[in-house]
Structure 1
């Protein structure tokens, strides 16, 4: 009898299934038609057909972020070479800076065409190298199981992040012995906590007068959330979340102090500045979280820093660190919750910081409020929608109202790029609605933000996603306009937008839509949306004067300047 053969593409799909892949996001390309054909016969993997590679990569990034809370499996995207890969690079960059597991597969030029600048050829190692954990190319089909297992291992280990795998189109059509099988399911290797370091940590805590924790980031999951909250509540430790990591602790916790990043509570900022001990867990302490490395400052003579992170390269990279712990954050959180040290006397600061946050994050009625008051709208959403709703947003001042007034109660419930990429919200919401059909999913997008990937509403409708989309339309690139008014008051240039009727656009995609120009109209529209399923879009028209949740207005910025 002759040897039974299978295509390299079939072997690749078998390896994906063995690694627990149940969904991929793709824009098809002729360079990986063999993979699409192999997926045709694989019921275990759903193929989500997207409309632009940036949207597909954002969906994969968001899927990896959601999986990180439990299974830890990376999000998966397939795109074609050249423009497909470069379009998808934004998702890779976000996954890298957000420390989320993701694998991007790129159909590539045939092996005999390489290094000739063939049609759509790109040097992927040079292009993706700085923004991912590993870039590789599979030239030998017999080694597919090895490469796929390694790709998954790299994506989920240490500081999670993206991996890029190039697949020459002729290699995918080669045949291999049917006996070549996938490697076993890859798991994240454990990173244990050092007992001596834990003892040193509790010694620092017992000596501290005003400690604070900043949490959320690489490797954070449900286990880390639950155990760290228990630890912090046991000792009354105030807990702030890193930029766009607000679901890292329950907002109902008696020690939650609010979020760092853009537009934080001024009292929280002062608390961090005055702290004599900062415990950073999972957070990179990047530019956004620290307001340009000013909160905390890089050098503070009376402030100690403990940094717990799964990647040794991150420890001591920017900040002077007094105690470094390279370990899994969930293992650390569990050890901290179970650790007993009689020398630690519970602090009152946790409850005080929580009161300050609740006061700051509560919208008070105002007689001078705009017709469509964003703070009031988000406050009403808190009452009307389930507490575990998933809020997805891209970049822009519009997101600040949710960062300040929403309560990220579920986990995961905040899908927002710490990399600050526009266009993330709608694709992330599509991925969330497919991953968690039992939960309410809300895409929050500014007008400029929405039109970067709003076409993925077609993907949502095609795949039956159940989601609510809020488009906040002020006719401008609002964040840039805010900086413009601060630096060049009354000299508006390059920030004005002429927009379509977003409600009609939502209807054109096959969804239900409404327009809101006042707070009451929004309340009424939201009530109607809740009685429906599928795609629902509310076009919220606000005046550019209402610039940010911090209270910034055009007139105030001009007056100050």
Structure 2
């Protein structure tokens, strides 16, 4: 095709290719048929048709997180934009670079309440990093390039680009623009010296490592820095794989319902070094675990420094660049005795809080044993995605992530995330097993995407922890209104049979001893498998039963 015959759609497709994008996820829209046709060429990104725009957005977000590229999702007009908004919010919360392309109605008809008309930038802008509509065909190539740059630089996030339907097929001679690598701002020499001085003065320091470490690929630098300084590391909410969980300096994951001993590692510290972490509500336990500790924060986004807690030093820098400079500047000497004892104590507390002695049951399911068997049955590089709900407490507490790039989760707490995320992650990591762990509530929100997995031949494994309820809601009801259950009880299908109806394999586990063999068979299959694990509704959380919650509320 000559440059004169190129269209906005072909330039858009080739721009994505130049940025290393291999897949565009979405639901086909009549507003973007020219773009879909441009993706038909083999050298361009493959279009993955999902069964719902929300599922497509989750796939794109997870694919970006697992691959290190920009995720791309396509939808049409207001209804498509509304459906995918949950994925936009998730990408924002996860600091995931994503381009959201929305086919808009014709600009000739706007302002007259045309079919599916809405102001798309105004609608999605509040949950996106940025949002823009471009109606001039000759400026679309520039707008796409700018959106990709903005999505990737600084704190990554989702950028929305709304394009009226008539621009996609317009001829253009605008050239392709070369991809721009995100800048990695380094800390100043004074910042490095200041961080090390704060550490030198601390006896009980702790590092909280967040998404900034993952997005900059700084996991190895973090490990080197922790070893060099002897500082224990806590993983921020749903950043499990930021530091190897089997390392002597790993002290636990800060989650909903964090074990009190792991919380004590944070609340008992005299210095908190936050690296790429927002120190958000869940990570700092409803803002109660950091009180009078000195806080030093390193973040690529200056707006995050001191946003949630006062800081004695805020360093605006890329996590990998900062940790590299800190490792180089850190004195090469023995770790102070009190600090070493502190790290040993907190590691022991973590190990005691998360230990699961082997004890398979032949008559029931113990969720702790399911997680132990899941860990034992997977290679270290397997990728785990998980949904939101009380079932996740067992995964968050007892599954140990020992390799980088092995966890993909939604910091937004979005239900319905796990299965579509697993599909996106599997396309990014075709050489690794990918297992989604979900509750029955979240599973049913996006279960239709199992057909997408079957169509793609994606051998993902979905483990459904089924207690026939919205467990987290039920827990809160029992705490505040014991015995008064409204809306949290659910009826469910036979998940194994439903999986088979979709063309996938299905297994049902009613006792611990059945799970290991079911998982082993699933990992050998060429297509997707659903393993339904029937759990006890009485065991409402890792630490409590429904009966215990009612007794405490009396």
TM-score bracket relative to the smaller structure = over 0.9
Which residue of structure 2 lines up, in the alignment, with residue 163 of structure 1? 159
Question: Distance between the aligned counterparts of 2:14 and 2:505, measured in 1?
Answer: 39
Which residue of structure 2 lines up, in the alignment, with residue 270 of structure 1? 264
Question: Distance between the aligned counterparts of 2:138 and 2:205, measured in 1?
Answer: 55
Q: C-alpha displacement at 1:22, in angstroms?
A: 1.2
Given that residues 220 and 330 in structure 1 are in contact (C-alpha distance below 8 angstroms), is that contact kept between their aligned partners in structure 2? no
Which residue of structure 1 lines up, in the alignment, with residue 106 of structure 2? 110
**Deviation beyond 4 Å, 4+ runs, structure 1:** 365-370
Q: 2:117 aligns with which of 109, 121, 126?
A: 121
Given that residues 50 and 452 in structure 2 are in contact (C-alpha distance below 8 angstroms), is that contact kept between their aligned partners in structure 1? yes
Pair 1:209-2:184 in alignment: no
Q: What are the Cα deviations for residues 154-207 of structure 1, in whole angstroms up to 9, with x where unaligned?
A: 111111110000011011122223xx2110012101211211111011111111
Aligned residue for 1:136, secondary structure, equals strand
Question: Distance between the aligned counterparts of 2:187 and 2:537, measured in 1?
Answer: 50
Which residue of structure 1 lines up, in the alignment, with residue 276 of structure 2? 282
Pair 1:446-2:436 in alignment: no
Q: 1:398 aligns with which of 391, 411, 416?
A: 391
Given that residues 360 and 369 in structure 2 are in contact (C-alpha distance below 8 angstroms), is that contact kept between their aligned partners in structure 1? no
Which residue of structure 2 lines up, in the alignment, with residue 488 of structure 1? 481
CA RMSD of aligned residues (A): 1.8
Question: Distance between the aligned counterparts of 2:400 and 2:216, measured in 1?
Answer: 17
Q: C-alpha displacement at 1:341, in angstroms?
A: 2.5
Given that residues 26 and 50 in structure 2 are in contact (C-alpha distance below 8 angstroms), is that contact kept between their aligned partners in structure 1? yes
CA 1:222–1:164 in 2, change beyond 3 Å: closer, same or farther?
Answer: closer
Q: 1:318 aligns with which of 295, 308, 313?
A: 308
Name whichever of 84-93 and 330-339 sits farther off: 330-339
Matches within 5 A, 1:533-548: 533-548=526-541
Name whichever of 482-491 and 380-389 sits farther off: 380-389
Pair 1:389-2:382 in alignment: yes
Which residue of structure 2 lines up, in the alignment, with residue 463 of structure 1? 456
Question: Distance between the aligned counterparts of 1:205 and 1:220, measured in 2?
Answer: 23
CA 1:3–1:191 in 2, change beyond 3 Å: closer, same or farther?
Answer: closer
Which residue of structure 2 lines up, in the alignment, with residue 32 of structure 1? 32
Matches within 5 A, 1:186-265: 186-218=180-212, 220-221=214-215, 223-265=217-259
Given that residues 216 and 242 in structure 1 are in contact (C-alpha distance below 8 angstroms), is that contact kept between their aligned partners in structure 2? yes
Given that residues 25 and 47 in structure 2 are in contact (C-alpha distance below 8 angstroms), is that contact kept between their aligned partners in structure 1? yes
Which residue of structure 2 lines up, in the alignment, with residue 142 of structure 1? 138
Given that residues 387 and 407 in structure 1 are in contact (C-alpha distance below 8 angstroms), is that contact kept between their aligned partners in structure 2? no
Q: 1:328 aligns with which of 311, 314, 318?
A: 318
Q: C-alpha displacement at 1:148, in angstroms?
A: 1.4
Which residue of structure 2 lines up, in the alignment, with residue 151 of structure 1? 147
Q: C-alpha displacement at 1:344, in angstroms?
A: 7.7
Unpaired stretches in structure 1, ≥5 consecutive residues = none
Aligned residue for 2:39, secondary structure, equals helix
CA 1:3–1:552 in 2, change beyond 3 Å: closer, same or farther?
Answer: closer
Which residue of structure 2 lines up, in the alignment, with residue 519 of structure 1? 512
Given that residues 13 and 35 in structure 2 are in contact (C-alpha distance below 8 angstroms), is that contact kept between their aligned partners in structure 1? yes
Question: Distance between the aligned counterparts of 2:482 and 2:360, measured in 1?
Answer: 27
Which residue of structure 2 lines up, in the alignment, with residue 56 of structure 1? 56
Question: Distance between the aligned counterparts of 2:363 and 2:536, measured in 1?
Answer: 8
Given that residues 471 and 488 in structure 2 are in contact (C-alpha distance below 8 angstroms), is that contact kept between their aligned partners in structure 1? yes
Question: Distance between the aligned counterparts of 2:359 and 2:399, measured in 1?
Answer: 19
Which residue of structure 1 lines up, in the alignment, with residue 7 of structure 2? 7
Q: C-alpha displacement at 1:437, in angstroms?
A: 1.2
Which residue of structure 2 lines up, in the alignment, with residue 82 of structure 1? 78
Aligned residue for 2:218, secondary structure, equals helix
CA 1:376–1:152 in 2, change beyond 3 Å: closer, same or farther?
Answer: same
Question: Distance between the aligned counterparts of 1:443 and 1:380, measured in 2?
Answer: 15
Aligned residue for 2:77, secondary structure, equals coil
Question: Distance between the aligned counterparts of 1:156 and 1:261, measured in 2?
Answer: 27
Given that residues 311 and 326 in structure 1 are in contact (C-alpha distance below 8 angstroms), is that contact kept between their aligned partners in structure 2? yes
Given that residues 255 and 396 in structure 2 are in contact (C-alpha distance below 8 angstroms), is that contact kept between their aligned partners in structure 1? no
Question: Distance between the aligned counterparts of 2:390 and 2:188, measured in 1?
Answer: 42
Name whichever of 263-272 and 230-239 sits farther off: 263-272
Question: Distance between the aligned counterparts of 1:6 and 1:42, measured in 2?
Answer: 17
Given that residues 75 and 103 in structure 1 are in contact (C-alpha distance below 8 angstroms), is that contact kept between their aligned partners in structure 2? yes
Aligned residue for 1:472, secondary structure, equals strand
Question: Distance between the aligned counterparts of 2:19 and 2:290, measured in 1?
Answer: 41
Q: C-alpha displacement at 1:343, in angstroms?
A: 8.0
Q: 1:424 aligns with which of 407, 411, 417?
A: 417
Aligned residue for 1:528, secondary structure, equals helix
Q: What are the Cα deviations for residues 69-103 of structure 1, in whole angstroms up to 9, with x where unaligned?
A: xxxx2100011111101000000001111111111
Pair 1:552-2:522 in alignment: no
Aligned residue for 1:403, secondary structure, equals helix
Question: Distance between the aligned counterparts of 1:254 and 1:451, measured in 2?
Answer: 39
CA 1:3–1:217 in 2, change beyond 3 Å: closer, same or farther?
Answer: closer
Please report the TM-score for the alignment, with normalisation by the length of structure 1.
0.95
Aligned residue for 1:166, secondary structure, equals strand
Question: Distance between the aligned counterparts of 2:447 and 2:369, measured in 1?
Answer: 26
Q: What are the Cα deviations for residues 95-153 of structure 1, in whole angstroms up to 9, with x where unaligned?
A: 11111111110000111112222111111222112111110112122222211111111
